[in-house]
Amino acid sequence: MVVLGAGPAGLVLGNLLLAGGVDCVVLERATAEQVKSRSRAGFLAANTVRILDRHGLAEGLHRRGRTHSTCEFRTEDGRFRLDYATLGRREPHTVHPQHELVTDLLTHYLDAGGRLHFATEAVAVHGADGDRPSVTVRGADGRTGTWQGRYVAGCDGRHGAARRSLPPGSVRHHRLDHGVSWLALLAEAPPSLDAVGYAVHERGFAGHMARTPEVTRYYLQCERGTPPGAWSEDRIWDELALRMRASDYGPLRRGPLLHRAAVDLESDVLEPLRHGSLLLAGDAASLISPSAAKGANLAVLEAELLARALIDDLRHGSPDALADYSARCLEHIWRAQEFSRWMVGLLHRVPGPAGDEAAFHDSLRRSRLASLRTSRSCQDWFAENYVGV
């Protein structure tokens, strides 16, 4: 079994296959240092924690992670808070930065004797229509090689070899550009509020998400095409303070910016997720906008479903779960996509020139926020989907 990619999907899959007695190898194009330092979202859903617990992969999460259950909305109509762990299914998030989760999964996999090759780029998958697919790889020295297995799991992202190797016409590719861009910022500064902060402002969205007691993630809506380094740190902090209404609700704790990136909010889904002996999971299966922190949670869920199906097939000769893998994953993916799209509409004014249509959409957004502020049934729906996958 060949697994492409050492992100959450690939490493959870590798750990579960290894524990289930399935021989596998994980191939990762980045170095070990790069894998351990990639900055990503860190809000884990309750079901994700249950999956990791179920397979003995949650020790680091419980040791260093923190339970979180409150979000605060700041708008032109005031502010309000939701303790979402008391709503819906009454489940919190666990804050555990993704690079720490990946490091935990990597350590567990290697300590258990798992095989993993870093700086090994998958170039193409061949023979997926048969029962002995192969993967052409290129090492850091430029030399090429080949890996072969009964199945190939593509967990190597939207630009990886798994997607590139799909036969023309074999997949439906659903795409949506939300028309919104963010500066994603990581600040060496303590959190400024004890909640996830969502600020809706006439100048654009601003977001606050704690990562650790010393580091905070911020998001700042910007014009499409804005380079990550275009704004000075002072301008970024001033804009965050303005949009988060710091003069009304308290100052932001400032500090140096450790990392910044430009993010265009896009979503896509491939159907189906299985093509003969090639199976997709994580961002290779679907890309979701970061507006609702679903990406890593979907990746872990898909990895568990795929691992169970592969173990049933390879160890017990039962192919039914593998035949159902794509349909089961897509049910979860589309539900997450729907909520993510709803969140984009909740938090952002319609980009583009002002006019009657923009004013109409802006009024709808304010109505959604009013319902979320006042309606218990709306709050329960929000909590169930906000934490769930």
Which residues are annotated as catalytic? 68, 198, 290, 294, 386
Which of 220, 218, 209, 251 lies closest to 66 in space, CA to CA? 209
Amino acid symbol at 282: G
CA distance 42 to 54: 20
Report the first-to-last Cα separation within the chain, whole angstroms.
Answer: 27
Exposure of 378 in the CB half-sphere (CA atoms within 13 A): 12
The dihedral region occupied by 209, where left means phi > 0, alpha psi between -120 and 50, and beta the remainder, is beta
CA distance 104 to 58: 8
The dihedral region occupied by 169, where left means phi > 0, alpha psi between -120 and 50, and beta the remainder, is left
Please count the residues of the chain. 389
Which of helix, strand or coil describes residue 286? strand
DSSP-assigned letter for residue 201: -
